[in-house]
Amino acid sequence: MKKKPQTQFYTKASSILNKGAPIEAIMKMSEEYDIEVEQIKQWLEQKTKTHAITSALQPLSKEEQKARFNIFDEKFIERFPNMATYRLGDNVAFYNYENGVYKSVADRDMEDLVDAFMFQLGLLEHRNNRKNIKDTVQRIASLLSRTDNRHFKESDVQSRGLKLNLKNGLLDIKTLTLEPHTKEFFSTAQVPFDYDPYAKCPKFDQFIHTVTQGDDTTKDMIQEMFGYCIGDGNPKHKVFYLYGDTARNGKSTTAKMLCHLLGKDNYATLSLKQLSGENAAELITLIGKQLNYSDEISSKYVESSMLTTISSEGIIQMNPKYKTPFSYQIKSKFIVTCNDLPKFQNGQGMKHRMITIPFDYHIPIKERIDRYDEVLVAEEGSGILNWAIEGARLLEERGEFTINEQSREDMHHNTKESNSVYAFMYESFDFDKLYDTTYDKKDDLFETYKQYCIETRSMGKGYQSFCTELKRFANETHLIEPVVSRGFINYVGLKTKEKNYEKD
């Protein structure tokens, strides 16, 4: 059973202790929380001292309460030495360092901690007003921002490069150096296994061999994806699409294993629709996440402008509820599992970001294992991490991602489905540099294109958009060349072929 956060223990324990509960009851209750026995003993010792001081000084005069309240923020950060703040724009959040990782402290939990500590110090009048408590929380945040190693901001986190937080330390992915956990490194996610450079993963290797049907190029694509996703940021501006015609082919299991490899607090699960929309409130979940995993089944058209921006490490405006908007650079990688590759309404930007990895093998019922992703990571997590690290090394050595022939064909087909101009050109013409027949795009090509869209029931573009896409087609494919004649742009290198396209 998942244990409750440590910060909630103090509020609950203070409450029942103030009601006269014995120490044994506190120790029994602590089993429900993520807290060590030694921490409880220290807290009880401090609690006893505080109670003795409070009892000796009760009742406090207004002057005494004022004096004690004036240094309350100092006393609080001494009482909670693992508390720190993280700032995004003008917004500040509290985190508590526990067992090598920073865990978020909700606003309400923070206020409850302050309230309980006020009670311990005898500040009864101050805790009667909720506004006093909220203002005191802000004072604590301000003091932490002036205290060494007790505050962090986005630029601090990004400038330190990537270190993967594992159970036995912080692993520098580039140097493979394992360093001890430290409060000076702000990490909010920890992988639930150790780094072991000698660990193997035979069951995982067999799984990859099965789902790729022994195809080495597909295996290389998956391994490079794993290696890329454990690295820092999304510098190559890629979105990975794991696709197969049917379910039960291993694509979702593969994606989930990569998520587990990064840690449960290190990935988001926004859908393509959410990623492609303009609702920045939903995009807030990407903050601090190394990966977003979308599990899709639809092949409907998707608006791609926002997805194009965030997959290229773009800076967008975040609008958190009840807080101040701020700008944020998305550094997440993106993985999509789907039965059909999505179609993009404006696919020009996404076309160059897509890496498609085919999963064609249908796993028989007798070979399926429930929650196999969890099973494999639990048994071979350290070995799978080594496999991913090797993928990062291979990618750096090659300089670019492996793309096999099937992936190229499927991406080419997807481009035609997403862009009616490209589909028109590929399906209506043959190309050769020796073809010297010219086609005026206004009088010939555009009219022919309109007729093509009618016959294939494709979503046609207007004249200006057609001209723009035609120019892109020429620049990208080099299959046709523009020539200027009598003030008109014509194209050479193509000739009409017999109509062999099919209606959708």
| b (16+ CB within 10 A) / e for 163-178 | bbbbbebbbebeeeeb
Q: Amino acid identity, residue 472?
A: R
> Comparing C-alpha atoms, which of 350, 337, 359 is closest to residue 292?
337
- The confidence score (pLDDT) of residue 64 equals 79
Rounded to whole angstroms, how far apart are CA atoms 332 and 310?
8
360: pLDDT strictly greater than 60:
yes
Q: How far is CA 256 from the centre of its chain?
A: 13
Q: What is the mean pLDDT of residues 138-145?
A: 94
- Provide the 10 A C-beta neighbour count for residue 424: 27
The beta-strand segments (E) located in 127-183 are: 151-153, 163-166, 169-172, 177-179
Rounded to whole angstroms, how far apart are CA atoms 267 and 203?
24
440: pLDDT strictly greater than 60:
no
Rounded to whole angstroms, how far apart are CA atoms 339 and 56?
71
Q: How many residues does this entry show for the chain?
A: 504
Q: What is the mean pLDDT of residues 293-300?
A: 73
> Comparing C-alpha atoms, which of 140, 127, 122 is closest to residue 60?
122
Q: Quick check: 97 and 152 in contact, CB under 8 A?
A: no
Provide the Cα torsion 417, 226, 262, 389; round to 10°.
-160
| Lowest-confidence segment of 224-238, 375-389, 433-447 by average pLDDT | 433-447
Q: Side by side, which strands form the sheet with 163-166?
A: 163-166, 169-172, 177-179
pLDDT greater at residue 119 or residue 227: 227
Here the tokens at position 347 are 């696919």
What pLDDT digit, counting tens, does each position of 43-94 carry?
A: 777 766 655 444 544 566 777 778 888 899 999 999 999 999 999 888 899 9
Q: Quick check: 342 and 336 in contact, CB under 8 A?
A: yes
Here the tokens at position 35 are 């807290």
The chain-wide mean pLDDT, for the chain, equals 83
Q: How far is CA 349 from the centre of its chain?
A: 20
Q: Amino acid identity, residue 175?
A: T
How much of the chain is in helix, strand and coil states, percent to nearest 5? 50, 20, 35
Rounded to whole angstroms, how far apart are CA atoms 18 and 47?
10
Task: List the domains of the chain with CATH numbers.
Answer: 6-156 (no CATH), 202-410 (3.40.50.300), 419-496 (1.10.10)
Place of tokens 């039965």: 339
- Provide the 10 A C-beta neighbour count for residue 356: 23
DSSP-assigned beta bridge partners for residue 358: 243
Q: What is the mean pLDDT of residues 9-14?
A: 81
Cα–Cα separations (whole angstroms), residue 204 to 88, 190, 192, 266, 380: 39, 21, 17, 22, 8
Q: How far is CA 232 from the centre of its chain?
A: 12
